[in-house]
Amino acid sequence: MTELAFKITFTALFAVLGACIASFANVVALRSAKDESYINGRSRCPECGGTLRWFELIPVVSWLIQGGRCRKCSVPISPRYLIVEIAGALALGLSFFKYGFSWSFLIALGVYVILMLIAVIDFTIMEIPNGLVLALLPFAIGAIFAQPEISLISRAIGILTISLPMLILALIVKGAFGGGDIKLMAVVGLLLGWQLTLLAAFIGVFIAGCIAITLIIRKKVKKGAQMAFGPYLCLGTMTAFIFGTEILTWYLGLYGLWL
Protein backbone atom coordinates (compact mmCIF):
# COMPACT_ATOMS: atom_id res chain seq x y z
CA MET A 1 0.00 0.00 0.00
CA THR A 2 1.38 3.39 -1.00
CA GLU A 3 1.68 6.21 1.54
CA LEU A 4 -1.16 8.13 -0.09
CA ALA A 5 -3.45 5.08 -0.15
CA PHE A 6 -2.59 4.40 3.50
CA LYS A 7 -3.44 7.98 4.43
CA ILE A 8 -6.72 7.98 2.51
CA THR A 9 -7.76 4.63 3.99
CA PHE A 10 -7.19 5.72 7.57
CA THR A 11 -8.74 9.13 6.90
CA ALA A 12 -11.91 7.32 5.79
CA LEU A 13 -11.81 5.02 8.82
CA PHE A 14 -11.47 7.92 11.23
CA ALA A 15 -14.22 9.78 9.39
CA VAL A 16 -16.53 6.82 10.08
CA LEU A 17 -15.42 6.83 13.71
CA GLY A 18 -16.08 10.57 13.90
CA ALA A 19 -19.62 10.10 12.60
CA CYS A 20 -20.24 7.33 15.15
CA ILE A 21 -18.98 9.50 18.02
CA ALA A 22 -21.17 12.36 16.81
CA SER A 23 -24.17 10.04 16.71
CA PHE A 24 -23.48 8.92 20.28
CA ALA A 25 -23.08 12.57 21.35
CA ASN A 26 -26.59 13.21 20.06
CA VAL A 27 -27.89 10.34 22.19
CA VAL A 28 -26.09 11.66 25.27
CA ALA A 29 -27.50 15.16 24.77
CA LEU A 30 -31.09 14.12 24.14
CA ARG A 31 -31.22 11.61 27.01
CA SER A 32 -29.51 14.03 29.38
CA ALA A 33 -32.21 16.57 28.57
CA LYS A 34 -34.82 13.99 29.60
CA ASP A 35 -32.77 12.85 32.61
CA GLU A 36 -32.50 9.37 31.11
CA SER A 37 -29.54 6.98 31.07
CA TYR A 38 -27.58 7.09 27.83
CA ILE A 39 -25.87 3.78 28.62
CA ASN A 40 -28.88 1.55 29.15
CA GLY A 41 -31.95 1.25 26.95
CA ARG A 42 -32.53 0.89 23.22
CA SER A 43 -32.84 3.87 20.91
CA ARG A 44 -36.44 4.77 20.11
CA CYS A 45 -38.31 7.12 17.82
CA PRO A 46 -39.24 10.16 19.93
CA GLU A 47 -42.61 10.39 18.15
CA CYS A 48 -44.02 6.85 18.06
CA GLY A 49 -41.73 5.22 20.61
CA GLY A 50 -40.81 2.40 18.25
CA THR A 51 -37.50 0.65 18.96
CA LEU A 52 -34.93 1.36 16.27
CA ARG A 53 -33.17 -1.58 14.60
CA TRP A 54 -29.42 -1.62 14.04
CA PHE A 55 -29.76 -0.69 10.38
CA GLU A 56 -31.71 2.42 11.37
CA LEU A 57 -28.80 3.63 13.48
CA ILE A 58 -26.01 3.78 10.90
CA PRO A 59 -24.67 7.35 11.02
CA VAL A 60 -25.50 9.47 7.93
CA VAL A 61 -26.47 6.42 5.83
CA SER A 62 -29.68 5.53 7.69
CA TRP A 63 -30.97 9.11 7.61
CA LEU A 64 -30.36 9.37 3.87
CA ILE A 65 -31.83 5.96 2.99
CA GLN A 66 -34.95 6.62 5.06
CA GLY A 67 -35.39 10.04 3.51
CA GLY A 68 -35.11 11.72 6.89
CA ARG A 69 -38.19 9.94 8.24
CA CYS A 70 -38.97 7.24 10.78
CA ARG A 71 -39.60 3.87 9.09
CA LYS A 72 -42.53 3.11 11.39
CA CYS A 73 -44.49 6.36 11.68
CA SER A 74 -43.02 8.37 8.77
CA VAL A 75 -42.59 11.43 10.99
CA PRO A 76 -39.65 13.61 9.81
CA ILE A 77 -36.37 13.11 11.68
CA SER A 78 -34.56 16.35 12.46
CA PRO A 79 -31.75 17.12 9.98
CA ARG A 80 -29.72 17.95 13.08
CA TYR A 81 -28.71 14.28 13.26
CA LEU A 82 -27.39 14.30 9.70
CA ILE A 83 -25.58 17.64 10.11
CA VAL A 84 -23.90 16.64 13.37
CA GLU A 85 -22.79 13.26 12.01
CA ILE A 86 -21.36 14.76 8.81
CA ALA A 87 -19.57 17.44 10.85
CA GLY A 88 -18.15 14.73 13.10
CA ALA A 89 -16.91 12.71 10.13
CA LEU A 90 -15.23 15.73 8.58
CA ALA A 91 -13.63 16.87 11.84
CA LEU A 92 -11.99 13.58 12.75
CA GLY A 93 -11.19 12.55 9.18
CA LEU A 94 -9.51 15.87 8.39
CA SER A 95 -7.67 15.80 11.73
CA PHE A 96 -6.00 12.54 10.75
CA PHE A 97 -5.35 13.77 7.20
CA LYS A 98 -3.56 16.80 8.67
CA TYR A 99 -1.63 15.21 11.52
CA GLY A 100 -1.42 11.48 10.76
CA PHE A 101 -0.45 9.19 13.63
CA SER A 102 1.08 11.74 15.99
CA TRP A 103 0.65 13.31 19.42
CA SER A 104 -1.16 16.21 17.76
CA PHE A 105 -3.70 13.79 16.31
CA LEU A 106 -4.28 12.14 19.69
CA ILE A 107 -4.92 15.57 21.16
CA ALA A 108 -7.20 16.41 18.21
CA LEU A 109 -9.10 13.18 18.89
CA GLY A 110 -9.66 14.04 22.55
CA VAL A 111 -10.53 17.65 21.77
CA TYR A 112 -12.97 16.53 19.09
CA VAL A 113 -14.84 14.13 21.39
CA ILE A 114 -15.22 16.75 24.12
CA LEU A 115 -16.17 19.59 21.77
CA MET A 116 -18.75 17.37 20.06
CA LEU A 117 -20.35 16.57 23.42
CA ILE A 118 -20.28 20.24 24.44
CA ALA A 119 -21.83 21.33 21.14
CA VAL A 120 -24.77 18.93 21.09
CA ILE A 121 -25.49 19.27 24.82
CA ASP A 122 -25.43 23.07 24.65
CA PHE A 123 -27.63 23.01 21.57
CA THR A 124 -30.11 20.75 23.36
CA ILE A 125 -30.29 22.21 26.88
CA MET A 126 -28.55 25.63 26.46
CA GLU A 127 -25.90 24.70 29.02
CA ILE A 128 -22.22 23.71 28.90
CA PRO A 129 -21.34 21.27 31.71
CA ASN A 130 -18.33 22.37 33.76
CA GLY A 131 -17.08 18.78 33.76
CA LEU A 132 -16.63 18.80 29.99
CA VAL A 133 -14.74 22.10 30.07
CA LEU A 134 -12.44 20.65 32.73
CA ALA A 135 -12.01 17.49 30.63
CA LEU A 136 -10.70 19.69 27.82
CA LEU A 137 -7.96 21.13 30.05
CA PRO A 138 -5.56 18.11 30.01
CA PHE A 139 -5.59 18.13 26.21
CA ALA A 140 -4.87 21.86 26.18
CA ILE A 141 -1.91 21.23 28.48
CA GLY A 142 -0.79 18.33 26.28
CA ALA A 143 -0.82 20.65 23.26
CA ILE A 144 1.92 22.70 24.94
CA PHE A 145 4.30 19.79 24.44
CA ALA A 146 2.87 18.42 21.18
CA GLN A 147 2.86 21.81 19.44
CA PRO A 148 5.79 23.83 20.85
CA GLU A 149 5.62 26.21 17.87
CA ILE A 150 2.84 27.98 19.78
CA SER A 151 4.68 29.76 22.59
CA LEU A 152 3.70 29.73 26.24
CA ILE A 153 3.27 33.50 26.08
CA SER A 154 0.83 33.14 23.19
CA ARG A 155 -1.11 30.51 25.12
CA ALA A 156 -1.15 32.61 28.29
CA ILE A 157 -2.47 35.62 26.36
CA GLY A 158 -4.93 33.33 24.61
CA ILE A 159 -6.58 32.42 27.91
CA LEU A 160 -7.81 36.01 28.22
CA THR A 161 -8.04 37.03 24.55
CA ILE A 162 -11.70 36.10 24.12
CA SER A 163 -12.83 34.99 27.58
CA LEU A 164 -12.13 38.36 29.22
CA PRO A 165 -14.09 40.47 26.68
CA MET A 166 -16.92 37.93 26.88
CA LEU A 167 -16.93 38.20 30.68
CA ILE A 168 -17.00 42.00 30.56
CA LEU A 169 -19.81 41.99 28.00
CA ALA A 170 -21.76 39.44 30.06
CA LEU A 171 -21.50 41.72 33.09
CA ILE A 172 -22.69 44.72 31.10
CA VAL A 173 -25.38 43.05 29.00
CA LYS A 174 -27.48 40.47 30.83
CA GLY A 175 -27.54 37.16 29.02
CA ALA A 176 -24.94 38.17 26.43
CA PHE A 177 -22.86 35.07 27.14
CA GLY A 178 -23.18 32.15 29.51
CA GLY A 179 -20.53 31.20 32.02
CA GLY A 180 -19.90 28.00 30.10
CA ASP A 181 -18.99 29.93 26.94
CA ILE A 182 -16.52 32.07 28.89
CA LYS A 183 -14.84 29.11 30.59
CA LEU A 184 -14.71 27.22 27.31
CA MET A 185 -12.88 30.03 25.52
CA ALA A 186 -10.40 30.38 28.38
CA VAL A 187 -9.36 26.74 27.92
CA VAL A 188 -9.43 27.13 24.13
CA GLY A 189 -7.02 30.03 24.52
CA LEU A 190 -4.55 27.72 26.27
CA LEU A 191 -5.07 25.10 23.58
CA LEU A 192 -4.64 27.35 20.55
CA GLY A 193 -2.74 30.47 21.55
CA TRP A 194 -4.10 33.98 21.07
CA GLN A 195 -3.96 34.17 17.27
CA LEU A 196 -5.85 30.95 16.59
CA THR A 197 -8.24 31.70 19.45
CA LEU A 198 -9.19 34.94 17.72
CA LEU A 199 -9.76 32.98 14.52
CA ALA A 200 -11.86 30.36 16.34
CA ALA A 201 -14.04 33.06 17.88
CA PHE A 202 -14.40 34.88 14.56
CA ILE A 203 -15.53 31.71 12.80
CA GLY A 204 -17.99 30.96 15.59
CA VAL A 205 -19.45 34.48 15.64
CA PHE A 206 -19.65 34.65 11.84
CA ILE A 207 -21.50 31.33 11.48
CA ALA A 208 -23.78 32.03 14.46
CA GLY A 209 -24.58 35.48 13.05
CA CYS A 210 -25.43 34.11 9.61
CA ILE A 211 -27.72 31.46 11.10
CA ALA A 212 -29.39 33.97 13.43
CA ILE A 213 -30.06 36.42 10.59
CA THR A 214 -31.44 33.63 8.42
CA LEU A 215 -33.79 32.45 11.17
CA ILE A 216 -35.00 36.01 11.81
CA ILE A 217 -35.62 36.66 8.11
CA ARG A 218 -37.54 33.39 7.82
CA LYS A 219 -39.42 34.34 11.03
CA LYS A 220 -38.36 31.15 12.78
CA VAL A 221 -37.26 33.16 15.83
CA LYS A 222 -37.89 36.65 17.14
CA LYS A 223 -35.29 39.36 17.58
CA GLY A 224 -33.67 39.14 21.00
CA ALA A 225 -34.31 35.41 21.35
CA GLN A 226 -31.48 33.48 22.98
CA MET A 227 -29.56 30.85 21.07
CA ALA A 228 -26.86 28.40 22.06
CA PHE A 229 -23.49 29.90 21.16
CA GLY A 230 -21.36 26.98 22.31
CA PRO A 231 -21.84 24.82 19.17
CA TYR A 232 -20.45 27.58 16.96
CA LEU A 233 -17.50 28.21 19.27
CA CYS A 234 -16.78 24.47 19.16
CA LEU A 235 -16.95 24.48 15.36
CA GLY A 236 -14.62 27.47 15.20
CA THR A 237 -12.22 25.85 17.66
CA MET A 238 -11.98 22.58 15.75
CA THR A 239 -11.52 24.43 12.46
CA ALA A 240 -8.76 26.57 13.94
CA PHE A 241 -7.06 23.54 15.50
CA ILE A 242 -6.92 21.71 12.16
CA PHE A 243 -6.47 24.46 9.58
CA GLY A 244 -5.96 27.65 11.60
CA THR A 245 -2.34 28.26 10.59
CA GLU A 246 -3.15 27.74 6.91
CA ILE A 247 -6.16 30.06 7.09
CA LEU A 248 -4.24 32.83 8.82
CA THR A 249 -1.26 32.46 6.47
CA TRP A 250 -3.57 32.74 3.46
CA TYR A 251 -5.45 35.73 4.87
CA LEU A 252 -2.38 37.69 5.97
CA GLY A 253 -0.70 36.85 2.65
CA LEU A 254 -3.42 38.83 0.88
CA TYR A 255 -1.94 41.92 2.54
CA GLY A 256 1.70 40.93 2.20
CA LEU A 257 1.91 39.94 5.86
CA TRP A 258 3.11 36.68 7.40
CA LEU A 259 2.78 34.85 10.71
Strand partners, 69: 76
Nearest CA among 65, 41, 45 for reference residue 55:
65
Residues 6+ apart with CB under 8 A from 225: none
User: Reduced to 3 states, what is the DSSP secondary structure of residue 212?
Assistant: helix
Percent of the chain past pLDDT 90, that is, above it, reads 56
Q: How many residues does the chain have?
A: 259
> Average pLDDT for residues 217-225, to the nearest whole number?
71
Q: Residue 47's pLDDT is what?
A: 66
Rounded to two decimals, the pTM is 0.88
**pLDDT level of residue 39 (50, 70, 90 thresholds):** low
More confident site: 38 or 185: 185
DSSP for 24-59, please give it. HHHHHHHHHHTT--SSSS--B-TTT-PBPPGGG-ST
User: Reduced to 3 states, what is the DSSP secondary structure of residue 254?
Assistant: coil
Nearest CA among 187, 203, 209 for reference residue 242:
203
Percent of the chain past pLDDT 70, that is, above it, reads 92
Q: Residue 1's pLDDT is what?
A: 65
Nearest CA among 107, 87, 71, 119 for reference residue 20:
87
> Average pLDDT for residues 96-109, to the nearest whole number?
94
Instruction: Report whether pLDDT(224) > 70.
Output: no
More confident site: 11 or 29: 11
Q: Residue 108's pLDDT is what?
A: 95
Instruction: Convert the pLDDT of each residue in 136-160 to its tens digit.
Output: 999 999 999 999 999 999 999 999 9
Instruction: Report whether pLDDT(194) > 70.
Output: yes
CA 166, CA 87: separation in Å to the nearest integer? 26
Instruction: Report whether pLDDT(239) > 90.
Output: yes
**pLDDT level of residue 227 (50, 70, 90 thresholds):** confident
Instruction: Convert the pLDDT of each residue in 41-91 to its tens digit.
Output: 677 776 676 677 777 778 998 888 888 888 778 788 888 889 999 999 999
Q: Where are the beta strands (DSSP E) in 82-143?
A: none
CA 66, CA 38: separation in Å to the nearest integer? 24
